[in-house]
Amino acid sequence: MMRKCHVRFLGEGDTVTCASLPDKKTAGVDGIKSLSPAARFDLAKGLFIQGQSKPTRRIWIPKPGKTEKRPLSIPTITDRALQAVVKATLEPEWEARFEPSSYGFRPGRSAHDAIKHIKNCIISKPKFVLDADISQCFDRINQEALLLKLNMNGSVRQQIKAWLKSGVIDSGKFVATTAGTPQGGVSALRSA
């Protein structure tokens, strides 16, 4: 049986499961990799949208089959937990808006589902399929355009803006972020 943790700002009766809170193997700038179940429960009880964020910790991972490396931005455990809550709040509305043929960063959808959809579409007659990888796509997303697309005001918007603008600690040095979305935390910002 899964325990439930009440999250104050969502509204009466809205809950997030303790199991959905972050438990990763890589620490953010706070140095915390994971929490005990009791500490996770305490973290969930203390989550509030404050419009603030700590910088993320930049790590570099190799791209498969290449010598290049890809940057990941690892948030603090508190930011990860709050991102999970905000994602759970925004996701139902955005899922209703997405095209049925969209598969990227969607719950319950995978690359295999996209391939199956493509095969079903081209089974009756040959068609062209474009498979594209946009170089540094998430690093170049216009943050202001993303915030406008969210079409919301108030504390949630301020919190998302704080995550976008929080900067990164790369090799011990702070680097400001003026464009792009962090890769390595909860994918709420990329889905929008």
d(CA 14, CA 79): 19
> Dihedrals φ, ψ of 139, to 5°?
-75, -15
pLDDT at 177 over 60: yes
pLDDT at site 158: 94
Using 50, 70 and 90 to split pLDDT, how confident is the model at 163?
A: very high
Q: Stretch 53-72: mean pLDDT, rounded?
A: 89
pLDDT tens for residues 36-59?
Answer: 999 999 999 999 999 999 999 999
Residue with tokens 């993320």: 56
